[in-house]
């Protein structure tokens, strides 16, 4: 987090982490597409022709809250391929919150686990504990064959404390919900540490609702936050979204 007192501007860094091809870049593209004009800057991506991120992607989002404080969100993705280990370590530095994008396919279970360990290790190298990092987990690619079942994911979700979301990023499903969940957690953590709401007279609930609206959500904040497992399961079944 960076605070510019003179311009009353707060910058928060959010990082999308996960194994290669799990859909991190696709999440940012969907967020970019959902954002109202004026809220989003240019999405910067650098990839090879076969969709592999080479360095990182960056989506800058800016939201003004009743004139009291401007909040800039810098949303990054890491490159998931194993060879880009040093880039991941660099990108994760200074992260205020992390969205872990897992690939729902059974065949990718091992890659998800390895990437999660890699995240833990990289945070540790920056002196950060995964335990104290605001974190949401997204199971993406729910439309693909041979994915882990809803029940299995619900069970996993019940074991951990992180909110878990289901998504089909290529159709924009679950993307904004995951993002709002992440922003909610991250703001709560920053507020607990720095008392942002009190010091700036900032209404963070209203702010989050406003961000959701600017990202095309017509539902209220409580409904959006309720979409973490199990609520999202029904909404995101392919048969329920009419593929």
Which residue ranges make up the site for Mg ion (CB under 5 A)? 24-25, 53
Closer to ligand GTP by Cβ: residue 71 or 169:
169
Distances (CA, A) of 239 to 138, 217, 243: 20, 22, 7
Locate 171 and state its tokens: 């159709």
# chain residues binding ligand GTP, by CB under 6 A: 22
The CB-of-91 to Mg ion minimum distance in angstroms stands at 11
Among 11, 62, 81, 188, binds ligand GTP (CB under 6 A): 81
Among 144, 156, 189, 233, binds ligand GTP (CB under 6 A): 144
Among 10, 13, 17, 22, binds ligand GTP (CB under 6 A): 22
- The answer to the question of residue 21 lying near ligand GTP (CB under 6 A) is yes
Radius of gyration of the chain (CA): 17
Residues 160-199 contacting ligand GTP, CB under 6 A = 168-170
Q: Are strands 97-103 and 69-77 parallel, antiparallel or unpaired?
A: unpaired
The CB-of-28 to ligand GTP minimum distance in angstroms stands at 8
- The answer to the question of residue 77 lying near ligand GTP (CB under 6 A) is yes
Residue nearest ligand GTP (C-beta atom): 80
Locate 183 and state its tokens: 């922003």
- The answer to the question of residue 52 lying near ligand GTP (CB under 6 A) is yes
Residue nearest Mg ion (C-beta atom): 53
**Mind giving me the DSSP string for 136-178?**
EEEEE-TTSSSBPPHHHHHHHHHHSSS-EEE-BGGGTBTHHHH
Sheet strands (E) in 18-134: 57-65, 69-77, 97-103
Phi, psi at residue 20, to the nearest 5°? -55, 135
Phi, psi at residue 211, to the nearest 5°? -60, -45
Residue numbers at the binding site for ligand GTP (CB under 6 A): 18, 20-26, 51-53, 77, 79-81, 140-141, 143-144, 168-170
């Amino acid at each position: 987090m960076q605070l510019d007192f003179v311009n009353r501007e707060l910058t928060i860094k959010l990082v999308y982490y996960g194994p290669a091809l799990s859909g991190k870049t696709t999440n940012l593209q969907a967020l970019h597409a959902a954002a109202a004009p004026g809220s989003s800057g240019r999405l910067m991506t650098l990839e090879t022709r076969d969709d592999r991120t080479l360095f990182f992607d960056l989506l800058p989002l800016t939201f003004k809250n009743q004139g009291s404080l401007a909040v800039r969100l810098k949303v990054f993705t890491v490159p998931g391929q194993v060879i880009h280990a040093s880039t991941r370590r660099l990108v994760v530095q200074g992260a205020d919150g992390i969205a872990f994008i897992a690939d729902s396919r059974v065949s990718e279970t091992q890659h998800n686990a390895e990437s999660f360990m890699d995240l833990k290790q990289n945070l540790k190298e920056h002196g950060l504990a995964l335990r104290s990092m605001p974190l949401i987990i997204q199971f993406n690619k729910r439309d693909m064959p041979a994915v882990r079942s809803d029940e299995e994911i619900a069970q996993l979700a019940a074991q951990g404390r992180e909110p878990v979301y289901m998504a089909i990023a290529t159709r924009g499903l679950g993307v904004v919900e995951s993002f709002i969940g992440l922003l909610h957690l991250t703001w709560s953590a920053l507020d607990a540490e720095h008392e942002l709401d009190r010091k700036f007279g900032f209404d963070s609930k209203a702010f989050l609702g406003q961000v959701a609206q600017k990202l095309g959500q017509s539902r209220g904040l409580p409904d959006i936050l309720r979409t973490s497992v199990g609520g999202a399961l029904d909404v995101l079944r392919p048969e329920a979204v009419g593929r």
